[in-house]
Amino acid sequence: MTEFHVAIGQYTNYRYALNDLQYEHTLYLAVPLTTYNDFFSDKFVQSVIQRSQVNLIIYDEEKEEVVKWQK
């Protein structure tokens, strides 16, 4: 859970920095598929992701490919 809180904080800070610098890029948080399936299925985590408007890239570490883009 601690790593999740740190990642959300960093994501938020980067999003604010991009906004302040007037960059038009969309920011995504990359998450391994196993972590997404195990940890991100938690209702609290889903709620934080939704309310914080975090965009996700879910990737398969073994295949080295993106599985899902989630806005």
CA separation for the pair 68, 23 (Å, rounded): 24
User: Which tens digits make up the pLDDT trace of 36-52?
Assistant: 999 998 999 999 999 99
Q: What is the pLDDT of residue 21?
A: 94
Q: Phi, psi at residue 24, to the nearest 5°?
A: -95, 20
| The model's pTM | 0.84
Question: What is the set of domains in the chain, with CATH numbers?
Answer: 2-70 (3.40.1350.10)
Q: Phi, psi at residue 61, to the nearest 5°?
A: -65, -40
Kind and range of the H or E run holding 10: helix 2-20
